[in-house]
Amino acid sequence: MLKKLLPSDIDHNKVDIWSQDESRVGQQGSLTRIWAEKGTRPRKVKQRQFISTYIYGAACHSTGQSYGLILPYANTDAMNIFLSGLSKDILPNRHAALIVDNAGWHNSKDLKVPKNITLIPLPSYSPELNAMEQVWE
């Protein structure tokens, strides 16, 4: 099956299977206590903004090699930055078959996939098939 998904000019004996995913981390404001006259219940505006960032990560199934970046957004531009960095981290003369979920930025027409990476999309709504999901836990 892998041979059908990879371009024909790739030596299939030099392909490593990698899994990739993103995880959002951040902080959301919570309720707070304020000083007030006994018996009163003053109104206080709750902080509603959510400050977050994204961890992009990938790991090779056979070697254990991994690569990660912290980026401010989960979008096509950030994925391009991640793929470019991962491409430089892949061992020379090797090719990465990168398993990804079906996030919109993984199959965008503006995505620039380096020559030493082939994206292998998982079926929609199947996070249990992505090994990187276990890393985030």
* H or E element in which residue 134 lies: helix 132-136
Note the pLDDT tens digit of each residue in 39-53: 887 777 666 677 789
Note the pLDDT tens digit of each residue in 91-127: 999 999 999 998 889 889 999 999 999 999 999 888 7
In this prediction, what percent of the chain has a pLDDT beyond 70?
Answer: 84
The reported pTM is 0.78
Calculate mean pLDDT across residues 10-28. Answer: 85
pLDDT at 85 over 80: yes
In 63-104, which ranges are E strands? 66-71, 95-100
The CATH number covering residue 24 comes to 3.30.420.10
| Structural domain span for residue 95 | 2-136
Number of domains making up the chain: 1
> pLDDT class for 137, splitting at 50, 70, 90?
low
- Judged by phi (left if over 0) then psi (alpha if -120 to 50, else beta), residue 15 lies in beta
